[in-house]
Every structure is written in C-alpha cells, then in structure tokens.
Amino acid sequence: MNSTDTEWLEAQVNAARQGNDEAFSRLVEKFQTPIFNLCYRMLGDAAEAEDAAQESFWRAYQSLKRYDQKRPFATWLLSISAHFCIDQLRKRHLVALPMDSLPEEEAPDPAPNPESSYNQREEQQNLRKLLSGLNPQDRAAIIMRYWYDLSEEEIGEALSLSVSAVKSRLHRARRKLAQMCQTKQALTVQAVRRQHESSAL
C-alpha cells in the first residue's frame, strides 16, 4: 500500500470514527473482496459468506471507536471476520461433519466465462473440501498465510494466539492438507485402476 492509499485509508477511518457513514461505506467498498474471500474460504458457502462478511462489517462499525490505529486496518478487519467465522463453525459443528456432506456450493463468479468453468469449479471444490478438513483456527491461519500473505506475528495478533502457537497450527495444517491430498490421490488411482479392470473384463 503506497502513501496515498495509506492517507486515504486514514482519512476514511477517521471520518467513519466521527460518525460519517459514507466514509464507512467507502471502507466496505474497498475491503469487501478480502473479507468476503476470508468468509468464503472459512465457511465454504457463498450465501453464508455473504452474511458473515456483512456481519463482520457491522461488528467493525460498532467497535470502530475501539480500533487502535497503530494496527493495520485490513488486519483488524480480517481479525474480526476470522473470529466471527470461527464462532459460526463452532456453533454449527461443521467441523464434525464428514467432508462429503458439505453442500456443493460454488463461489459467485463476477464475470462468468464459459471457458474457465469446469476445471476451475473442480479445483475450487477440491480446495474447499481440503480446507474443510481442518479445524477452524488452523483453517483461518492457513487462509491468512497464503491468501493474505500475513506474517506469523500478524496471524497471531489477528487470531489472538502466540507466535509459537501459530507456527505449530500452520505446521499441523500443512501436514493434514498434505495427508488429505495423498489420500485423495490414492483414491483416484484406485478408481482409475478399477475402471481399467472393468473395461478389460
């Protein structure tokens, strides 16, 4: 973020803190995609993600007076959103559900392109299933690390965890993702082999 962006952001935050709703709406406009993306990656469902993103902005709006301006605004927003999604997942016991029972929901495509469809959808679903196999906090840590490029310190601050806890969560999450990927590959190989056998017969 360059200095003009930082100044603009500061001005909007200050105006919003003084009760200017238009300024807060401009912040919503700017951060809608990262917040929606976080919610979508966490919850795996576009409708729930929309609701969670809206709720995250409402929570941010309510606690704007308590926002410490030394912290980056984006990280603060992500933190609110991640906590909300973690609570939602805990409430719904989504983690306890088997991966295949998740709804086959697709992310909204702002510019539908017939060429990009099938493979992209397949990849999205695959990734969604992989992420849903992680516990909520590990999932949030992985999303923040790879989609937002946050450092371990920033993730710790956002999720109210120590740096060592973030490190161990990230390690556990990477290991689990790798293992799930291995299992999936093994199942695919088995299925292909079975198909070949049946066609040979």
Partner 1 sequence: MNHQPFEQWMLDDEDLDQEQERALQEHLRSCESCPQLVHSWQAVRHEIEAEPQVAPIPGFTPRWQARLVKKRAEQQRRLAWGIFGLCLGIALIIVGIVYIPEIARLSPAEILANLLYNVTLFLAKANQTRGIIELFTGSVTPALPIAIWVLAASSLSALSLSWIFVMWKIVVPKGVRS
Environment class of 141 (CB within 10 Å of its CB; exposed 0-12, middle 13-18, buried 19+): buried
What is the contact surface with partner 1 in residues (CB under 8 A)? 21, 25, 28-29, 32-34, 36-37, 40-41, 46, 49-50, 53-54, 57-58, 61, 107-108, 110, 123-124, 126-127, 130, 142, 146-147, 167, 170-171, 174-175, 177-179, 181-182, 185
The tokens for 92 are: 């719904």
Cβ nearer to partner 1, comparing 34 with 68: 34
Quick one: 146 or 160, whose CB is closer to partner 1? Answer: 146
Q: Please, what is the minimum distance in Å from the beta carbon of residue 159 to partner 1?
A: 18
Give the whole-angstrom CA distance, residue 174 versus residue 185. 16
Q: Is the dihedral of CA 56, 57, 63, 65 positive or negative?
A: positive
Nearer to partner 1, 38 or 89 (CB): 38
Q: Closest separation between CB of residue 125 and partner 1, Å?
A: 11
Helix pair 136-147, 73-92: axis angle to 10 deg: 150
In the bound complex, what is the minimum distance in angstroms from residue 201's beta carbon to partner 1?
31
Least distance between partner 1 and beta carbon 106 (Å): 10
Residue 17 sits at the vertex; the CA angle it makes with 13 and 23, to the nearest 5 degrees, is 55
CB neighbours of residue 24 within 10 Å = 19
Rank residues 175 and 194 by Cβ distance to partner 1 and give the closer one. 175
